[in-house]
Amino acid sequence: MLTSLKGKSVIVTGGSKGIGRGIAQVFARQGAKVTIAARNEADLKSAANEMGGEVRYEICNVADWASVQGMIDSTAEAQGGLDVMCANAGAFPQTKMIDMDPSEWDEVMAINLKSSFLCVKASIPHFEKAGKGRVVLTSSITGPITGFPGWAHYGASKSGQLGFLKTAAMELSRYNTTINAVMPGNIYTEGLQDLGQDYLDTMAASIPLKRLGVVEDIGNAALFFASDEAAYITGQQIVVDGGQIIPESLEAIDEI
């Protein structure tokens, strides 16, 4: 049983859908005050209404400094400070390099990697004021551990988040703040659904636990990193993937 996060002020970027929504739901169930942030207001509104608990929303583009800073400052004002920043929003367009416009590379880097820096930078004054804080990044197995055709930019951005994490952990220690990353395998979300049923079926068959993850699987890992019990863990990452990265070959899966 983790120490309660009741009343804690939490931000989850990309909280209107998928993994971010799962993270927000897990924190809201714990009694935390949660702000979900994304671009589409209709999605934010319905997610906040459906989730129950103390959930509000902010419209924000995580690739834009002014937007991120404004979102974090107004959330801190509304929720009486900031305890936990979950920098989760991300995009994964699948395009092989031969067809990839360089502008798509830049866009994926901005949404997935630059956003981690912007979210941390804008949170620092609030952690400094509180004398403590927690950051949880959503990275991926794709990039740091595995590869998949079409995701060169995505994989680079997700590895980049882990590179960022190490120095960020050192700089944030000064504010008694930890930063860690969750590395999901294939989690069933709206974004993943767009890749088609064939992709989902093939993926599930290649995972030792024989299913895709659910968004709460990632939410629970984020909750642990945000808890008092994780106070001495920083600059680290955890894979949450049903064993997906373990098999040496297709034959190894067939042997199960």
Q: Could you say whether residue 75 binds ligand NAP (CB under 6 A)?
A: no
Region from 14-22, 93-101, 144-152, 169-177 binding ligand NAP, contact rule CB under 6 A = 14-22
What DSSP string runs through 84-118?
EEEE---------GGG--HHHHHHHHIIIIIHHHH
Tokens of 241: 């993937």
Distance from the first to the final alpha carbon of the chain: 32
Q: Among 11, 19, 124, 169, which residue interacts with ligand NAP (rule: CB under 6 A)?
A: 19
Q: Could you say whether residue 89 binds ligand NAP (CB under 6 A)?
A: yes
Nearer to ligand NAP, 91 or 175 (CB): 91
232 tagged catalytic:
no
Q: What single-letter DSSP state applies at residue 142?
A: B
Q: Among 186, 227, 234, 244, which residue interacts with ligand NAP (rule: CB under 6 A)?
A: 186
Of 57, 154, 175, 188, the active-site residue reads 154
* In the complex, least distance from residue 131 CB atom to ligand NAP, rounded to whole angstroms: 29
Q: Could you say whether residue 227 binds ligand NAP (CB under 6 A)?
A: no
Q: What angle do CA 98, 156, 97 make, to 5 degrees?
A: 0
Q: At what angle are helices 115-130 and 65-79 packed, to 10 degrees?
A: 30
Region from 76-84, 86-94, 123-131, 170-178 binding ligand NAP, contact rule CB under 6 A = 86-94
Tokens of 121: 């930078």
Q: Could you say whether residue 43 binds ligand NAP (CB under 6 A)?
A: yes
111-150: which residues touch ligand NAP (CB under 6 A)? 111-112, 138, 140
Label residue 59 exposed, middle or buried (CB < 10 Å: 0-12, 13-18, 19+): middle
Ramachandran sector of residue 198 (left: φ over 0; alpha: ψ -120 to 50; beta: rest): alpha
Binding site for ligand NAP (CB under 6 A): 13-14, 16-20, 38-40, 43, 60-63, 88-92, 111-112, 138, 140, 184, 186-187, 189-192
Q: Which residues are catalytic?
A: 154
